Structure 1
Amino acid sequence: MDKDNYTATKGDRDKNRRKSNQKFFDTTFFKNLQIQEKELRQKVNRYPELKDYRSGGSRSKRKIPCWAAFSYFELGIITNIYAFLRGDLRKSVLIYGYSKKNYGKEVTKQMDTWLDAVRNLRNVCAHHNKLIGKTSSVVLPVADEKDILVTNTDLFSRIYALKKILSDKDSKQLGIELDRLIKKSKFDIYLFEILPTDWKERYDRINIL
């Protein structure tokens, strides 16, 4: 909730993109973030479990912890929080959440695309829109995994993004569930080119972050 934690331009070198990012940050993203945080405090009937953070509550002067707020924030808000964070904070998020290695600027940009891909996939499914035969946002693979993707805008690229951001345990379960779903399908997904025929081999070659 502190503007000092963000880089409104996203540090983009392109003048037009910097201007566009700044405008979106000021008019849309940060304003929506403030509105959603305010609603968590004020809508008593909708969020009774957060009563301690409201006026008169034992924690009314404290900020709602991000782990609690993220349970209620829309996915778009969460992905934009990461996208606009200062570079040092973006790296800190990765170090804390993953293998605790040092992460460079390239990985933080790749993570942006993975989160966008997951958000796109979620939105399509949530609104019962067409998933097959359409392209979505670009997914950037890590340098030694470029040959895993067929294209960087198809359904498999969304699956790639999911595995990159999931834990090792959850990514293995995703592969199992996807294989199970394909076997239960009443039509040939390969005939319709929904996924590459060697998707399992490609999936297994995707390394966790």
Structure 2
Amino acid sequence: MNSDQPIDLDKQAELMKKYVVYTRKTRVQKLLVYTGYFRLSRYGKYLLSQSNIIKSKPNQELLFEAYDFDVKVRKVFFDYVKKAEIQFKSHLVNAVSLKVNDSAFYLDQQYYTPSKGDNDKIKKKANRKFFAEKFFENLKKQEEELRRNVTKFPELKDYRNGGGRSKQKIPCWAALSYFDFGTVTNIYAYLRGDLRKEVLVYGYSGKNYGKQVTKQMDTWLDATRNLRNVCSHHNKLIGKTSSIVLPESGEDEILVTNTDLFSRIYALRKLLNEKDVKQLKVDLDKIIRKTKFDLYLFGILPSDWKERFDRINKL
């Protein structure tokens, strides 16, 4: 059978037998109506790959438990990645605009390092190419779109033809509130080294940050953005690996691996304020205690994740 051909609900349920054992087809069909075959099959495929752990083919109850846990935990993470995104945008626009006294600094190349200060010649060349041909051009296009699209952004009418600020660029605190998190993380990644440090001094503990920490911050932002994308698009989170997280000096042993779910939690902890950090732990623990899905058995999180979480120092 051609797997790219559309199939009805009954056949979709039959195909789920490749991954799980079930006795009540109607329950599987009800979940398929809600999730769609492709989405649900990702959970089935993941659980089947873990058969060596459970010593048998997964059953429908395990499928339902895994899916339910994934939905709930994604809701928690999405709430906190939104907080991290908003907070970081605020730190970035305030720190840099105040330092350089320029409300539209994001559109001025003098505040960026196109090579990202990379020592590797190949990476340096690639960074410069991406900056010139994609990143900076895209920034200008996004600002122009904000200015031009009357229907979508009526609140920015003053920056259009005939408006009182039509000759001015849209200030960073307005523009970055509309930019996606990927654009914002790229702005930070390409900023001059002194400005990258300035963002950290402004938004976090105020200590003297070195170049190493700004590079670590790049990985924490990428990890948080990856987590946000998974949650916002309602994709499977359990068992998923993502971009590499670099721990701060002295914290290497806190991470189990640098690409798993706990490494995303590590990155989030670095970005969030202390009040949000404490509540994240409470909310996550509440979901874990109530779930029937044994996430520790499958290595979704380390069993001592709370103790590891408490050992992560604030930035």
Alignment TM-score, normalising by the size of structure 2: 0.64
Q: Which position in structure 1 is the counterpart of 2:117?
A: 11
Could you list the per-position Cα deviations for residues 29-82 of structure 1 after superposition, in whole angstroms to 9, with x for gaps in the alignment? 111111111111111111111112222222223322222222110111000000
Could you list the per-position Cα deviations for residues 135-169 of structure 1 after superposition, in whole angstroms to 9, with x for gaps in the alignment? 21111111121111001111100110001011111
Which residue identity lines up with residue 136 of structure 1 in the other structure? Answer: S
Q: Which position in structure 1 is the counterpart of 2:234?
A: 128
Q: Which position in structure 1 is the counterpart of 2:172?
A: 66
In 2, Cα distance between equivalents of 1:71 and 1:61: 21
Pairing partner for 2:293 from 187, 190, 197? 187
Q: Which position in structure 1 is the counterpart of 2:255?
A: 149
In 2, Cα distance between equivalents of 1:57 and 1:101: 43
The aligned runs of 1:11-160 (5 Å cut-off) are: 11-160=117-266
- Which of the pair has more CA radius of gyration? 2
In 1, Cα distance between equivalents of 2:162 and 2:195: 33
The number of residues matched between the two structures is 209
Secondary structure at the aligned position of 1:70 is classed as helix
Q: Where in structure 2 are there 5+ consecutive unaligned residues?
A: 1-106
- Structure with larger RCO (C-alpha < 8 A, sep 6+): 2
Q: Which position in structure 2 is the counterpart of 1:162?
A: 268
Which residue identity lines up with residue 146 of structure 2 in the other structure? Answer: L
In 2, Cα distance between equivalents of 1:185 and 1:23: 48
Could you list the per-position Cα deviations for residues 115-144 of structure 1 after superposition, in whole angstroms to 9, with x for gaps in the alignment? 010111111222233322232111111112
Q: Percent identity?
A: 70
In 1, Cα distance between equivalents of 2:133 and 2:287: 42
Alignment TM-score, normalising by the size of structure 1: 0.95
Q: Which position in structure 1 is the counterpart of 2:314?
A: 208
Q: Which position in structure 2 is the counterpart of 1:177?
A: 283
Larger mean CA deviation between 35-44 and 174-183 belongs to 174-183
Structure with the larger helix share: 2
In 2, Cα distance between equivalents of 1:107 and 1:120: 20
